[in-house]
Amino acid sequence: MCGIVGYLGLNEKKEILLDGLQELEYRGYDSAGIAVIEGEKLNNFKALGKLENLREKTKAYHTEGFGVSIGHTRWATHGKPTELNAHPHVGAYSYVVHNGIIENYQALKEELQADGVKFLSQTDTETIVHLFEKNNKTANTVFSAFEETIERLDGAYATLLITEADADTIYFAKNGSPMLIGFNGDDVYFASSDTPIIGKATEVYYLEDGDYGYARQGEVKLFDAKGEKTFTKQALTADKVSAQKDGFRFFMEKEIYEQSHVMGETMMGRVLDENIAFDELDADFFKDIKAIKICACGTSYHSALTSSYLFERLSKIRCDIEIASEFRYKEPLLTDDTLFITISQSGETADTLEALKMAKRAGLKSLSICNVDNSSIIRESDAAILTRAGIEKGVASTKAFATQTMVLWMLALYVGQEKKSISKEVLKTEIEAMRKTPKSLLVEEKLHSQLTRMSKRYLHGHGFFFIGRDIFFPLALEGALKRKEISYFHAEGYPAGEMKHGPIALADSTLFTIALMPKTMHYEKMKSNVEELSARDATILAISPEPFELADDFIQTNYDSHPMLEFFEMMVVTQLLALEISVRLGNDVDMPRNLAKSVTVE
């Protein structure tokens, strides 16, 4: 969750880097840094925290004439947010910036340390620069030293390297993390997304996985596993806002489409072949813990509720969930064998933060699951796990919910693993399913256009009931919340089996029921509940892999092997449905009325 900018040419490099990083700052603001080589002169600046700190630090610095330069804004993954861990990372005569995670960095680091290399930071990135300088001692050319370096890296990366050994060149490589090259005459730009170079470069080439090469003034050479590669540049848009939305109409839409990708980032380095790893947690973090209590608000509360099923089922640990604003005033009984977990996208929600403070006062150990590093909730907690969803701009939360739920699922397995309450077989099956999650979050064009067409039938009615059982009940709550937030219609999430205890009295043809009917979980029971509603003339939209003859509308999902895969697929359906209804109603999708992205008041 970081940002990269690079520039090679005659213009003022510091300003290009800082302006570009400003566009990417939302990707991470633990620290930022730049490195510039002009002729023989090498300059490097780093600052902790927001980019304005780096601006302040470089106030008196200006570049002149031709040079190469790289910059980075960081969202900590390996190693704490400190100045030493800030990029660019330095070797003896080279600098590197990197996005992503080098999965085999530990092995590479040990190998380099055995050769006497001293590491300054705790990052995976630093291995790249030392490995490059090691290879450069024996390689025929600087480029082949870079090539040999890239060949040894496992994991996802986008990286830029500059070196005094070849002072007018930028070396680059991309695998799994985004990077592009911008062109304007002899000037060459690099960035991890196109916003930093809009208005500067006129043409662009979006690097593909496995691409690497080098850039010199007026010359860019590109290679992949097959050798040198020809590439076609395309015109770069001049419209910044639409570029930030990557061509989507709304941030919410972009964020729904991003879920598949960010889920990969959430799992990276944590979902291993046979176990779950959280570098953030000490080995004995769960030692004296006998129960879990989770507090959150809104969408984050729904991910918590989902996890209560997973914790008890998979890790065999008692798990209670509380709405933070209720918890604060109920005079709860708290015991210090309970782990207090808070979940928050923003990390600033007042009710959640206050609940956390209460739990701490009662002597409970705390863990936060959060999307914004250095936020108040993270700072207040004993430990924190970042969801790595990237900034969420749409007020209606989507990818934050998906990644929170994933972290909680991973945590449920982790607790089971640590407490030896989960069998190897179950762990294996869960991990296999987890790895399929990014696929289940891909948005198919056919599905999206079906929902666009269908949305016209959901612009009226006296109520919308989203119903589900088990983990699909919290998903129903979340589906209804999305519907309420951006279409301003009354909607409720309800446990399907509970409808007959009251709400069924509302059933008529303008009561819309959105039924979540997974095939891997309680299908027959769910079917009976929906039949009861259909018999009372309610209009049914069924979401299921299994065709359902009583459905007035039907969205067919895939036959998946695991309930969580069905969960994520159905989540996308409910998000897109809410979006398309809101679009038809002409509402402000990204900034719905009366709401705010971060609720810092009680």
Our answer to whether residue 2 is catalytic in this structure is: yes
From candidates 73, 127, 193, 352, binder to ligand F6R by CB under 6 A: 352
From candidates 20, 298, 479, 592, binder to ligand F6R by CB under 6 A: 298
Minimum distance between the CB of residue 80 and ligand F6R, rounded to whole angstroms? 23
Nearer to ligand F6R, 17 or 262 (CB): 262
Nearer to ligand F6R, 298 or 390 (CB): 298
Does residue number 513 form part of the binding site for ligand F6R (CB under 6 A)?
no
Does residue number 297 form part of the binding site for ligand F6R (CB under 6 A)?
yes
From candidates 69, 266, 344, 557, binder to ligand F6R by CB under 6 A: 344
Minimum distance between the CB of residue 479 and ligand F6R, rounded to whole angstroms? 11
Contact between 476 and 468 (Cβ < 8 Å): yes
Span of 65-73, 106-114, 297-305, 355-363 interacting with ligand F6R by CB under 6 A: 297-305
Report 573-602 residues binding ligand F6R (CB under 6 A). Answer: 598-599
Nearer to ligand F6R, 236 or 576 (CB): 576
Nearer to ligand F6R, 172 or 401 (CB): 401
d(CA 231, CA 225): 15
Full DSSP string of 283-299:
TTTTTT--EEEEEE-HH
Nearer to ligand F6R, 187 or 485 (CB): 485
Nearer to ligand F6R, 346 or 534 (CB): 346
Q: Which of 67, 5, 8, 35 is nearest to 186 (CA)?
A: 8
Q: At which residue do the structure tokens 């936060």 appear?
A: 368
- Count how many residues are written for the chain: 602
Q: What are phi and psi of 266, to 5 degrees?
A: -60, -35
Minimum distance between the CB of residue 486 and ligand F6R, rounded to whole angstroms? 9
Produce one character per residue of 385-414: b if its CB has 16 or more CB atoms within 10 Å, e if not. Answer: bbbbbbbbbbbbbbbbbbbbbbbbbbbbbb
HEC string for 329-394: CCCCCCCCCEEEEEEECCCCCHHHHHHHHHHHHCCCEEEEEECCCCCHHHHHCCEEEECCCCCCCC
Nearer to ligand F6R, 103 or 492 (CB): 492
Minimum distance between the CB of residue 203 and ligand F6R, rounded to whole angstroms? 38
Query: Which residue out of 2, 295, 297, 319 is catalytically annotated?
Result: 2
Span of 114-122, 133-141, 223-231, 344-352 interacting with ligand F6R by CB under 6 A: 344-352
d(CA 44, CA 33): 7
Hey, what are 204's tokens?
């662009």
Span of 4-12, 346-354, 379-387, 410-418 interacting with ligand F6R by CB under 6 A: 346-354
From candidates 85, 94, 299, 403, binder to ligand F6R by CB under 6 A: 299
Minimum distance between the CB of residue 461 and ligand F6R, rounded to whole angstroms? 21
Span of 81-89, 227-235, 244-252, 298-306 interacting with ligand F6R by CB under 6 A: 298-306
Does residue number 396 form part of the binding site for ligand F6R (CB under 6 A)?
yes
Does residue number 375 form part of the binding site for ligand F6R (CB under 6 A)?
no
Contact between 42 and 36 (Cβ < 8 Å): yes
d(CA 482, CA 256): 12
Minimum distance between the CB of residue 117 and ligand F6R, rounded to whole angstroms? 42
Nearer to ligand F6R, 192 or 344 (CB): 344
Our answer to whether residue 597 is catalytic in this structure is: yes
From candidates 163, 397, 437, 575, binder to ligand F6R by CB under 6 A: 397
C-beta atoms surrounding 333 within 10 Å? 7
DSSP β-bridge partners for residue 539: 512
Minimum distance between the CB of residue 36 and ligand F6R, rounded to whole angstroms? 38
What residue is closest to ligand F6R based on CB?
Answer: 298
**Packing angle, helices 563-585 and 472-487, rounded to 10:** 10
What separation, in Å, do the N-terminal and C-terminal C-alpha atoms of the chain show? 30
Query: Which residue out of 316, 419, 436, 597 is catalytically annotated?
Result: 597
Q: Which of 33, 35, 27 is nearest to 7 (CA)?
A: 35
Does residue number 345 form part of the binding site for ligand F6R (CB under 6 A)?
yes
Q: Where are the alpha helices (DSSP H) in 97-163?
A: 105-114, 126-138, 142-151
Span of 186-194, 342-350, 505-513, 516-524 interacting with ligand F6R by CB under 6 A: 342-350
Q: Site size for ligand F6R, by CB under 6 A?
A: 15
Nearer to ligand F6R, 212 or 257 (CB): 257
Q: At which residue do the structure tokens 């059933």 appear?
A: 507
d(CA 263, CA 293): 25
Does residue number 259 form part of the binding site for ligand F6R (CB under 6 A)?
no
65: left (phi over 0), alpha (psi -120 to 50) or beta: left
Report 468-497 residues binding ligand F6R (CB under 6 A). Answer: 481, 485
Minimum distance between the CB of residue 161 and ligand F6R, rounded to whole angstroms? 37
Report CA torsion sign: 298, 299, 305, 311.
negative
Minimum distance between the CB of residue 478 and ligand F6R, rounded to whole angstroms? 8
DSSP β-bridge partners for residue 204: 182, 234
Q: Which of 206, 161, 217, 203 is nearest to 11 (CA)?
A: 217
d(CA 113, CA 133): 13
Nearer to ligand F6R, 192 or 397 (CB): 397
Does residue number 387 form part of the binding site for ligand F6R (CB under 6 A)?
no
Binding footprint of ligand F6R on the chain (CB under 6 A): 297-300, 344-346, 349, 352, 396-397, 481, 485, 598-599
Residues designated as active site: 2, 597
